[in-house]
A and B are shown apart, each in its own frame.
Chain A
């Protein structure tokens, strides 16, 4: 059974600082997805990583995938308040079926 673990579960960071969210998974997969969820809202797709070594960047967020280590990272550069949200990683276990991590709640403070 595929297990997906994120850490930290909660992250409070100051504006302007850098930090990384980690997503570990337990079985082989080369497809990993990152989503963002604002309070009271639904999930919004951020990144789709489809191969070992894949790196995607959008603004202050950069995601990477190491399939050998079964690890994906979401790096935040120079955080701003607008990035406050919950971030989920999800791993494709079989034929479009995703298993989600429990989420990382990010709070960016002034």
Chain B
């Protein structure tokens, strides 16, 4: 079974702090993704990566950056957290190619005060 894990289930940070969200997958997937989920808006793609050290902007990259130094790990960074980044963050991974589903981690609920 594919397993995608995220470093924290719940996180509370203060405005202006630098925040790191970590995601690890154990199935040697090439693709990894970061989404945020907000009520009434569904899931919106922040960044994704097709390979180590590669990254592509999604639909809402502003205020975020990512890092992928190893194939199994994809980090989302909030350089200076703001209250409008309070959200549920979901990481996903999939195999290369476009016929495989994405496998999701349990999510991190981030609150920025």
Contact = CB atoms under 8 A, between A and B. Distances in A.
Interface in B11-35: 31, 33, 35
Contact of A96 (B31, B42, B59, B104): B31
A45 B98 contact: no
A48 B99 contact: yes
Interface string A40-56: 01111100101000000
B75 interface: no
Interface stretch (A12-20, A60-68, A76-84, A97-105): A97-105
Interface in B76-113: 90, 92, 94, 96-107
Contacts of A31: 98-99
Nearest to B31: A96
Contacts, number: 57
B95 to A, nearest CB: 9
Main secondary structure of the interface of A (DSSP, over half): strand
A97 B45 contact: yes
Nearest to B94: A96
A96 B98 contact: yes
Contacts of A33: 101-102
Candidate in B43, B59, B94 with the most chain A CB atoms within 10 angstroms: B43
Candidate in A50, A96, A99 with the most chain B CB atoms within 10 angstroms: A96
Given A97-B45, A100-B43, A101-B42, A92 B104 contact: no
B106 A41 contact: yes
Interface of A: 4, 31, 33, 35, 41-45, 48, 50, 88, 90, 92, 95-103
12 contacts: A4-B42, A43-B90, A43-B92, A44-B104, A45-B102, A96-B97, A97-B45, A99-B59, A100-B42, A100-B43, A101-B42, A102-B42
Nearest 7 Cβ contacts at the A-B interface: A102-B42, A45-B101, A100-B43, A43-B104, A100-B42, A42-B104, A96-B98
